[in-house]
Structure 1
Amino acid sequence: MSGPQCCTNPPTLDPNSGAGHVEKLAGLDTYIVGSPASNRAILLVSDVFGFEAPNLRKLADKVAGAGFYVVVPDFFYKDPYVPENVDRPLLVWLKDHGVDKGFEDAKPVIEALRSKGISALGAAGFCWGAKVVVELGKCGLIEAAVFLHPSLVTVDDVKEIKAPLAVLGAEIDNISPPELVEQFGEILAARTDVDGYAKIFPKVEHGWTLRYNPEDAEAVKSAEEAHENMLEWFAKYVK
């Protein structure tokens, strides 16, 4: 997780981006978009740059457009990682924002969604967020999981997850390299109790699904392909 790719192309955060709104959910500021009448919800767990990243909110809006109620909580309590802050490098920041804390904070979010009438729930995690999502999946709290350029996720995690899992990895990734993603795929292919697959996207780097340049057509195309794969997985299992 300490590799430089976690810190490249940081987004320009915008608290006003997206078509949704921010409200409290289980005590956390949460970007919410989609019909509250839907009984299907998707939890998006951000990378270290947090829930105000415009591309993340744009993706949340897209998922909502497919008929889901979408929530993107601020698991960092207004304290996302800032690469320019040389006094607080990533490993120091992570001490304040460990994935174990994210997992504990996610559980009441899920409880709140269930209390609203959500009967089917999927979760997608980006980088840091993938480790939170795998823990939710290991506890049986979600109906489907997607990892996008995960970090911190282990082979044992994938062996233990109880939710159908899609792993979307990058060819150029020193955090979850293709060899590891391939291992994830082999484990999922061998399991008979849960569906899953792993896919490696060529010529893209860690972070490509969120930290792409909207003016780079090839980058947008690769990101959107991953987004569509995620939506297809949720359409299959969150219903």
Structure 2
Amino acid sequence: MAKLGPQCCQNAPTRIPNAGSGHVEKLGGLDAYVTGSPESKFAILLASDAFGFEAPNLRKLADKVAASGFYVVIPDFFRGDSYSPENQDRPLPVWIKDHGPEKGFEYSKPVIEALKSRGIDAIGATGICFGAKVVVELAKRELIQSAVLLHPSLVSLDDIKEVKAPIAVFGAEIDSTTPPELVQQFAEALASKPEVKSYVKIYNNVEHGWSVRYNVDDAEAVKAAEEAHKDMLEWSLIHVK
């Protein structure tokens, strides 16, 4: 089973509460960063990694997806208590006991209902690292129309075998958390389920976290992240309808 290991939480982003062109509001009982036209009938739920919904690159991705016509939300599944590597008294194994992905899954349900109550017809979800486990649980129960997993953590082969919604899995070549060998097993399991549309890709020369925890001053890192963003968006445009 994939794990939430040290590589998950390298290159911690600087949290910027007011980053992005959207705003924060209450949605389904949680604070959430929302961006895009409220008139849209199609929504994307972004489930963050352990660093939470204030990460500027994540909000930049949300704004990019919103520019394609989606209403995008990033719920604060950690309720203001995202993981902080600087807090030596609360290492990752301790933090995750308070914020396991099963809580994120339960918190996501009222968020989805709130989106539906606003007239949203179809909802896709993209999970990043830790958030991928939340999204795969939604896909197993058909609570969303489409799923994307970006460098997932905690997602097992058994999880993938139970997925019922269309799903894309994007893995990193250099990843001790969910190594390419496990991603390949995901691909084989999905290939045996022709009734579930799927796409699996392993990106060369990138490490776990490359899609959101990249250095904005590193042109190659930005290019690699943007490739993943493009693939994620193309998948969502096809399947969230």
What is the TM-score normalised by the length of structure 1? 0.99
Aligned residue for 2:73? 71
User: Structure 2 residue aligned with 1:109, among 108, 111, 130?
Assistant: 111
1:15 and 2:17 aligned = yes
Q: How many residues of Structure 1 are paired with residues of Structure 2 in the alignment?
A: 239
One-letter code of the match for 1:125? G
State the percentage of identical aligned residues.
Answer: 68
Q: Distance in 1 between matches of 2:145 and 2:4?
A: 30
What is the TM-score normalised by the length of structure 2? 0.98
Contact 2:160 / 2:186 at 8 angstroms: preserved in 1? Answer: yes
Contact 1:189 / 1:197 at 8 angstroms: preserved in 2? Answer: no
Q: Distance in 2 between matches of 1:153 and 1:74?
A: 20
Q: What secondary structure sits across from 2:232 in the alignment? A: helix
Q: What secondary structure sits across from 1:175 in the alignment? A: coil
User: Structure 2 residue aligned with 1:220, among 205, 209, 222?
Assistant: 222
Contact 1:122 / 1:144 at 8 angstroms: preserved in 2? Answer: yes
Aligned residue for 1:119? 121
Aligned residue for 2:64? 62
Q: RMSD of the TM alignment (CA)?
A: 0.7
1:93 and 2:90 aligned = no
Q: Distance in 2 between matches of 1:132 and 1:151?
A: 10
Aligned residue for 1:130? 132
Contact 1:17 / 1:54 at 8 angstroms: preserved in 2? Answer: yes
User: Structure 2 residue aligned with 1:159, among 158, 161, 169?
Assistant: 161
Aligned residue for 2:55? 53
Spell out, residue by residue over 1:179-232, the C-alpha distance to the aligned partner (whole angstroms, 9 max, x if none): 000111111122111110211011111000000001111111110000000000
User: Structure 2 residue aligned with 1:200, among 202, 207, 211?
Assistant: 202
Q: What secondary structure sits across from 1:147 in the alignment? A: strand
Q: Distance in 2 between matches of 1:70 and 1:216?
A: 27
Q: What secondary structure sits across from 1:188 in the alignment? A: helix
Q: What secondary structure sits across from 1:12 in the alignment? A: coil
Aligned residue for 1:37? 39
Q: What are structure 2's unaligned runs of at least 5 residues?
A: none
How do residues 220-239 of structure 1 correspond to structure 2 at under 5 angstroms?
A: 220-239=222-241
One-letter code of the match for 1:177? P
Q: Distance in 2 between matches of 1:236 and 1:13?
A: 32
One-letter code of the match for 1:204? V
Q: Distance in 2 between matches of 1:7 and 1:43?
A: 22
Aligned residue for 1:176? 178
Q: What are structure 1's unaligned runs of at least 5 residues?
A: none
